[in-house]
Structure 1
Amino acid sequence: MAKSKTGQAFSATLVSGGLYKRNQGRLVRQLTAIGLVAVAIFGAYSLYNALPLAMSPGMQKGIAVAVVVISIWLAYRVVNFPRFADFLISVEAEIGKVTWATWDQLWRSTAVVIVLMVLLALLLLAFDIVWQWFFRLIRFLQI
């Protein structure tokens, strides 16, 4: 992983607006930022519902919107922080090396998993019935 600009602190990058390695790791960085913003939106919604009812509705909404806006800026800056951006660039490069299964292999594997889960469920049902019968036979269960 490239280690340029490692001496730069995260607090120093908060006020800058530039992009770090603009065209590298673009998809992973965008999806990471979207995920961070989605978590922030759910958190702001929870905060909005948790704020005291004595507070005016405008103030409740203002606080929630401020949390979302600050979170959007932080998500944008986090994915452009050099060390984290280099990590995400490396992740995208490694994902590109993965050999993905074909649709036919995927369907066959899914069928195998489903059939095995049904067979295991039936086996556990059989064990349950046998143990219930045994415990009732020795009068351990009185149902």
Structure 2
Amino acid sequence: MAKALRESTYLNSLFSAGLFKKNQGRIARLWTWIVVTAAVVWGAWTLQARLLVEYGDLIRIGVPTLVVLAGAWAAFRLVHFPRFADFLIDVEGEMGKVSWPGWGELWRATVVVLVTMFLFSVVLFGYDMLWQYFLRWCSILQA
């Protein structure tokens, strides 16, 4: 039975209302749903603002609303699709095993990255100036 659930297609899952392992991976599923739904909302807003401008209010507001509702449902079904849900459950489990740095280590690492980036930018600026001088001296680059 469990194997049959895992082998179902997303299209079959789209028209069902069952929840797959509903108490596992809740945070990963919630944030995945939020991000996918936000992308759908942004797309619907863009649709309304750019493509449906010349239509009446019913079409200009109704079509994006239907797109948002259908997209939110599709995103909800996506996070309960067995193969993808198992992936999100595994992701949340692995994230629990990560050793997160403390504030002190985070600040030190941030300073190291910023100083390194500054030094690289100074070195690259020096190389750029050197090449410009050389290419102007060779009359390849004109002033």
**For the superposition of Structure 1 and Structure 2, which TM-score range results when normalised by the shorter chain?**
0.7 to 0.9
Q: With the length of structure 2 as denominator, give the TM-score of the two structures.
A: 0.87
Aligned-pair distance for 1:113? 1.1
Q: With the length of structure 1 as denominator, give the TM-score of the two structures.
A: 0.87
Q: Which segment drifts farther, 45-54 or 58-67?
A: 45-54
Cα offsets for 1:11-42 (capped at 9, x unmatched): 33223222211110000000000011000001
Aligned-pair distance for 1:8? 2.5
Instruction: List gaps (5 residues or longer) in structure 1.
Output: none
SS at match of 1:5: helix
Q: Is the alpha carbon distance of 1:21 and 1:142 closer, same or farther for their aligned partners in structure 2, counting shifts above 3 Å? A: closer
Q: Give me the whole-angstrom Cα distance separating, in 2, the residues matched to 1:15 and 1:26.
A: 21
Cα offsets for 1:88-136 (capped at 9, x unmatched): 1011111111111221111111111111111111112222223333334
SS at match of 1:80: coil
Q: Give me the whole-angstrom Cα distance separating, in 2, the residues matched to 1:96 and 1:71.
A: 30
Matched-pair identity in %? 42
Q: Is the alpha carbon distance of 1:28 and 1:137 closer, same or farther for their aligned partners in structure 2, counting shifts above 3 Å? A: same
Aligned-pair distance for 1:57? 1.9
Q: Give me the whole-angstrom Cα distance separating, in 2, the residues matched to 1:35 and 1:3.
A: 29
Q: Give me the whole-angstrom Cα distance separating, in 2, the residues matched to 1:130 and 1:11.
A: 60
Q: Give me the whole-angstrom Cα distance separating, in 1, the residues matched to 2:35 and 2:111.
A: 31
- Code of the residue aligned with 2:83 in structure 1: it is R
Q: Give me the whole-angstrom Cα distance separating, in 1, the residues matched to 2:97 and 2:118.
A: 34
SS at match of 2:6: coil
Match of 1:32 in 2: 32
CA contact (8 A) 1:4 1:82 kept: no
Match of 2:125 in 1: 125
Higher helix fraction (1 or 2)? 2
- Runs of 4+ displaced beyond 4 Å: none
Q: Give me the whole-angstrom Cα distance separating, in 2, the residues matched to 1:114 and 1:100.
A: 20
1:48 lines up with 2:48 in the alignment: yes
Q: Give me the whole-angstrom Cα distance separating, in 1, the residues matched to 2:21 and 2:99.
A: 26
Name the count of aligned residue pairs: 142
Instruction: List gaps (5 residues or longer) in structure 2.
Output: none
Q: Is the alpha carbon distance of 1:86 and 1:135 closer, same or farther for their aligned partners in structure 2, counting shifts above 3 Å? A: closer
